[in-house]
Amino acid sequence: MSPLIILSESLRSLQKNKVRTGLSVLGIVIGIAAVITMVAVGEGAKRRVEKEIATLGDDWIMIGYWGVQRGGTRRQTGLPRNFTSEDADAIERECDAVRATTPVNRITMQVVSGFGNYQTNVIGARPNYFDIRRMTPAVGRVLNNDDLRMLNKVCCIGATVSRELFGAVNPVGQTVRINRVAFDIVGLLEPKGVGSDGRDNDDVIVVSFTALERYLAGSERSGTLLAAAKKGYDSSVARQQIRDLLRQRHRLAEDEDDDFRIFDRSLTMQANAEATRTFNTLLTTIASISLLVGGVGIMNIMLVSVTERTREIGLRMAIGAAGYQILEQFLCEAIVLCGMGGLFGFVGGWGVSKFVSSYYGWDTVVSYWMAALAVAFATTVGLFFGFYPAWRASDLDPIDALRYE
């Protein structure tokens, strides 16, 4: 019997009881739709982490002063005298796995423009800060070494600050007052959006480190350094080189704790990615349970169908149908049920994913390979759960089947 004849007979049999067929397919539809939705949400979360890594970088390292150990407790006793600028110079000079280092000071200040005022983060850093944090200008330029050396009162601002202070007006060339000190805006930074930690990366004003120390910081010293690993070096290598150098420069004995802490951005990104994968695996596993339930429903319906059609099976066998042909037909019916469920389930999962994306603002990604996966998965379910009822039908004795009431 040709495959087309088997498929035609299977469709004709399924059409005889449309309600039962529809209910059977519904279980598979719900299972596939749930799996597609969870995979789409997972892919969206993965893309978001990858985008954040590409935008903010995963090779930068933050070094902060941590205090010293005294009497079993850690106390802030003032910054080491050589911390910040001198340490930054030494790291850049002596650590061959580091491409750039800068002292950084972040202060929240009120900023006033001719259009309004806004409280934001003011960051003082060297020009290589823009390389470390992968910041590029959308309009204008970033700070340079002349600005650092000459203490120029210039700044670059993020998209959020620009919107709050200037609305739709181009901020480059405008003047803002930071803590009553006038700074000229020389650059508008490319938007970076909100990070996975909820921080708005565009809510920032960057000035040169020397200008911040002279005009804005007052007695508040920087306790933070930023560094970035060279291309081709793992950030763990750069981190270890920095740790060894700072311990040497701060004259710490082997039994003494570090008087600084090192935060590696790549570790956070890896942790976020791992947490996302674990969460998505859990959700997909839970969603797959509904697909399993749908498969059990298919098996139950096929067993009922075998019972109802016992006389039909006996008649076919009596006129020459082989057992394998009966097996093929019932297997085909199960596969058709699950295949239809896979197609409708993919469409349903795609619709739910789009709804979640538009209503809740979550990133979702539905790919063509998901459609193929849905149909293949549903077909496999049909084969697995349809085999026993099909085998049972093919194993019937023709005489007993003809006498069945």
* Residue-wise pLDDT tens digits, 223-267: 789 898 888 888 888 888 999 998 888 888 888 888 888 887 666
Q: Please, are residues 302 and 330 in contact by the beta-carbon 8 Å criterion?
A: yes
Query: What pLDDT, on a 0 to 100 scale, did the predictor assign at position 290?
Result: 67
Query: What pLDDT, on a 0 to 100 scale, did the predictor assign at position 52?
Result: 65
The total of other beta-carbon atoms located within 10 Å of residue 62's CB is: 15
The pLDDT-based confidence of 71 (bands split at 50, 70, 90) is very low
Query: What pLDDT, on a 0 to 100 scale, did the predictor assign at position 370?
Result: 67
On the CB side of 210, CA atoms within 13 Å amount to 14
Q: What is the mean pLDDT of residues 147-158?
A: 95
The total of other beta-carbon atoms located within 10 Å of residue 354's CB is: 13
Q: What is the mean pLDDT of residues 172-187?
A: 94
pTM above 0.75, yes or no: no
Q: What is the mean pLDDT of residues 196-216?
A: 87
Tell me how far apart the terminal alpha carbons of the chain are, to the nearest angstrom: 28
Query: What pLDDT, on a 0 to 100 scale, did the predictor assign at position 147?
Result: 94
Q: What is the mean pLDDT of residues 84-107?
A: 89
Closest by CA to 30, choosing from 356, 333, 300, 295, is: 295
Query: What pLDDT, on a 0 to 100 scale, did the predictor assign at position 395?
Result: 78
Q: Please, are residues 185 and 173 in contact by the beta-carbon 8 Å criterion?
A: yes
Give SS3 for 359: helix
Query: What pLDDT, on a 0 to 100 scale, did the predictor assign at position 69?
Result: 46
To which H or E segment does residue 364 belong?
none
The pLDDT-based confidence of 126 (bands split at 50, 70, 90) is very high
Domain ranges in the chain are 3-52+271-403, 67-258
Indicate if the pLDDT at residue 135 is higher than 80.
yes
DSSP per-residue codes, 186-202: EEEEPP--B-TTS-BTT
Indicate if the pLDDT at residue 118 is higher than 70.
yes
Q: Please, are residues 140 and 133 in contact by the beta-carbon 8 Å criterion?
A: no
Tokens of 23: 């209910």
Amino acid at 102: T
Query: What pLDDT, on a 0 to 100 scale, did the predictor assign at position 390?
Result: 74
- How many angstroms separate the CA atoms of 35 and 378, rounded? 11
Q: What is the mean pLDDT of residues 395-400?
A: 70
Which range has the top average pLDDT, 8-17, 174-183, 373-382, 388-397? 174-183
Q: How far is CA 39 from the centre of its chain?
A: 12
Mean confidence (pLDDT) of the chain: 80
Q: Please, are residues 105 and 88 in contact by the beta-carbon 8 Å criterion?
A: no
The pLDDT-based confidence of 272 (bands split at 50, 70, 90) is low
- How many angstroms separate the CA atoms of 261 and 67, rounded? 9
Give the angle 119-200-117 at the CA atoms, nearest 5°.
20
The pLDDT-based confidence of 137 (bands split at 50, 70, 90) is very high
Query: What pLDDT, on a 0 to 100 scale, did the predictor assign at position 203?
Result: 93
Query: What are the tens digits of pLDDT across the range 276-290?
Result: 677 667 766 766 676
